Chain A
Amino acid sequence: MTGSLQDNSARLRMLARSGIWISLFGGLLLPWSIMLAVEILLRDVPLQRAWRSFTLHLFAPGYNLFLVGLLTALPFVILAASILFHLGTAPAHNVLIAYRRACGLFSAALLMALIAGWIHIDVLIHPDAQGALAYFYLPILLLMVLPLGYGLGRALAKLFLPRVPL
Chain B
Amino acid sequence: MTAASPSQNILSSREIRLHLLGLVLLLGFLGLWYWLSTGARAVPTLIELLKDDDPSTRIVAAEQLGHIGPAARRAVPLLVTQATQDGSQHANSTAASALKWIDLTAARGVMAYFLPHLHDPDVQQRRTACAVLGSLGPVAKPAVPALLAAARDADALVRRNALIALAAIGIPSPPIGVALLEGLRDSSSLVRQTAVAQWAFTVPLSQEAVAALTPALNDPDKSIATLAHTALDKPRAADAAHVGSLSMMLAHASARDYALHQLAQLGPAAGEALSPIASLLEDEHPLIRYLAVETIGGMGAAGQPALPGLRRHQDADPVVQAAVTEALRAMESAAAAAPSSKEASP
A interface list, Cβ under 8 A from B: 2, 5-6, 9, 12-13, 16-17, 20-21, 24, 28, 52-53, 56-62, 66, 70, 77, 80-81, 84-85, 87-93, 98
What is the CA–CA distance of A153 and B215 in the complex, to the nearest angstrom? Answer: 63
- Choose among B20, B26, B67 the residue that contacts A61 (Cβ–Cβ < 8 A): B67
- Choose among B9, B54, B67 the residue that contacts A89 (Cβ–Cβ < 8 A): B9
Q: Which residues of A contact B60 (CB under 8 A)?
A: 56-57, 60
What is the CA–CA distance of A102 and B307 in the complex, to the nearest angstrom? Answer: 71
Most buried by B among A24, A28, A56, A87: A56
Nearest residue in A to B49 (C-beta to C-beta)?
A: A56
Instruction: Please classify the interface of chain B as helix (H, G, I), strand (E, B), loop, or mixed, using the class held by over half of its residues.
Output: helix
Asked if B23 and A80 make an inter-chain contact with CB atoms under 8 angstroms apart, the answer reads yes
Asked if A89 and B10 make an inter-chain contact with CB atoms under 8 angstroms apart, the answer reads yes
Asked if B4 and A84 make an inter-chain contact with CB atoms under 8 angstroms apart, the answer reads no
- Choose among A59, A91, A98 the residue that contacts B34 (Cβ–Cβ < 8 A): A59
Asked if A24 and B23 make an inter-chain contact with CB atoms under 8 angstroms apart, the answer reads yes
Known: A88-B15, A93-B4. A59 touches B10 (CB 8 A): no
B interface list, Cβ under 8 A from A: 1, 4-5, 7-11, 15-16, 19-20, 22-23, 26-27, 30, 33-34, 37-38, 42, 49, 54, 56-57, 60-61, 63-64, 67
Q: Which residues of A contact B54 (CB under 8 A)?
A: 52
24 contacts between A and B (CB under 8 A): A2-B4, A9-B5, A12-B10, A16-B10, A17-B15, A21-B22, A56-B49, A56-B56, A56-B61, A59-B64, A60-B60, A66-B37, A77-B27, A81-B23, A84-B19, A84-B20, A84-B23, A87-B10, A88-B19, A89-B10, A91-B10, A92-B5, A93-B4, A93-B8
A157 to chain B, nearest CB (A): 16
Q: Which residues of B contact A81 (CB under 8 A)?
A: 23
Q: Which residues of B contact A28 (CB under 8 A)?
A: 30
Asked if B42 and A59 make an inter-chain contact with CB atoms under 8 angstroms apart, the answer reads yes
A16 to chain B, nearest CB (A): 5
What is the CA–CA distance of A80 and B158 in the complex, to the nearest angstrom? Answer: 58
Asked if A59 and B23 make an inter-chain contact with CB atoms under 8 angstroms apart, the answer reads no
Asked if B38 and A91 make an inter-chain contact with CB atoms under 8 angstroms apart, the answer reads no
Q: Which residues of B contact A89 (CB under 8 A)?
A: 9-11, 16
A82 to chain B, nearest CB (A): 12
Asked if B56 and A59 make an inter-chain contact with CB atoms under 8 angstroms apart, the answer reads no
Asked if B20 and A60 make an inter-chain contact with CB atoms under 8 angstroms apart, the answer reads no
B39 to chain A, nearest CB (A): 10
A96 to chain B, nearest CB (A): 13
Asked if B63 and A13 make an inter-chain contact with CB atoms under 8 angstroms apart, the answer reads no
- Choose among A6, A20, A59, A77 the residue that contacts B5 (Cβ–Cβ < 8 A): A6
Known: A58-B37, A98-B10. A24 touches B30 (CB 8 A): no
Known: A60-B64, A85-B16. A9 touches B10 (CB 8 A): yes
Q: Which residues of A contact B16 (CB under 8 A)?
A: 84-85, 88-89
Q: Which residues of B contact A88 (CB under 8 A)?
A: 9-11, 15-16, 19
Known: A59-B37, A59-B42, A93-B1. A70 touches B10 (CB 8 A): no
Asked if B1 and A53 make an inter-chain contact with CB atoms under 8 angstroms apart, the answer reads no
A80 to chain B, nearest CB (A): 7
What is the CA–CA distance of A5 and B10 in the complex, to the nearest angstrom? Answer: 12
Q: Which residues of B contact A77 (CB under 8 A)?
A: 23, 27
**What are the nearest 8 A-B pairs in CB distance?**
A88-B11, A92-B5, A61-B67, A59-B37, A2-B4, A12-B10, A90-B10, A89-B9
